[in-house]
Structure 1
Amino acid sequence: MQKRGKKNPKTKYLYIYPIKAGFPSPAEEYLETVLDITSLVIQNPNSTFFGRVKGKSMEEEGIKDQDIIVIDKSIKPQNGNIVVCTIDGVFVIKTLKIKGKKIELESSNSKYKTIEIKKENEFEIWGTVTWTIHKVRNVRTRGL
């Protein structure tokens, strides 16, 4: 028997597909077998890690404060990718913009300025964001 509070990373869960966001059709019944969330979000286990977002600069991309993000270091960062990088020792999540030899990091929230990477900056791209995981607002978890 598994102790309460311990997680089994090998657990696979039942899932339903598709779940329509429009008018439901009672004639459609789709119960798939199992969903292994780990293999869904982690394509390259040796180069994948998780992070927790702090701040609101990427909200327009659906990445909110306290979200968990999945970052894959094996994906070559390309123009337009959302990346996690360090600038002068500080981790940030931004959209990568490559304009010739110029690199900029753009927030999706217009309240935040675009960061232009300069020669004097210590800059490293840690990886490309592949997934974001966040809790649905106003979910009651105890009692009704």
Structure 2
Amino acid sequence: MNPVCNLITDEERKIISNLKSNSKLNFDKAIAHEFLERKGKHLELIEDDVDLNAMLIKKPEYSFLIKVKGDSMINCGIDNSDTLLVDCSIEPKHGDIVVASINGKILVKKLNFSYRETMLLSENENYMPIKVRSGDKFEIWGVAIMVIKDRTL
């Protein structure tokens, strides 16, 4: 397991636990039924309340949310102000989108393992790849498992 998981404090685990207990959504089913009758012939209505944490977060004790600042990952659908759900119990592999720290700077990048080197790649041609060198203080905090889009205006 990723050693960064141990950095999640007991207080943060309590916050995640509290979120879990308050995350049920209850929609107006009459509106949903009307919409489906008119537009959604190939859709199925979920009749029960939905607990989003139970549905989306498999290991809450090893998960955290991080808000993205910047445009370096726009070509893979991660935009400025989006929120990433990050799981630090997943072993990072080539091609994963990770939250990493290199020499004190926290980044969201695509992980690239090649024969002799590790690189952090942006998904925007305006940014150069970052080569992880032997003297760098480098740590992968976790693997991004979901993007939550910020659609506020």
> Unpaired runs of 5+ in structure 1?
1-6, 17-23, 139-144
Query: If the length of structure 2 is used for normalisation, what is the TM-score?
Result: 0.73
User: What are the ranges of 5 or more consecutive residues in structure 2 without an aligned counterpart?
Assistant: 1-18, 33-37
CA gap of 1:132–1:44, structure 2 versus 1, over 3 A, is same
TM-score (norm 1): 0.77
Q: Number of aligned pairs?
A: 126
Shift of 1:49: 0.4
- Larger relative contact order (CA 8 Å, sep ≥ 6): 2
In 1, Cα distance between equivalents of 2:79 and 2:65: 15
CA distance in structure 1 between the partners assigned to 2:122 and 2:50 by the alignment: 33
Task: State whether residues 13 and 36 of structure 1, in contact with CA within 8 Å, keep that contact through their aligned partners in structure 2.
Answer: no
1:76 aligns with 2:98: no
| Structure with the bigger percentage of strand | 1
The amino acid that maps onto 2:138 is F
Using the aligned pairs only, state the percent identity: 29
Cα gap change, 1:55/1:29 in structure 2, threshold over 3 Å: closer, same or farther? closer
Tell me, in whole angstroms, the C-alpha distance in 2 between the residues paired with 1:29 and 1:118. Answer: 50
RMSD between aligned alpha carbons? 2.4
Could you say which structure has the higher helix fraction?
2
Classify the secondary structure of the residue corresponding to 1:40. Answer: helix
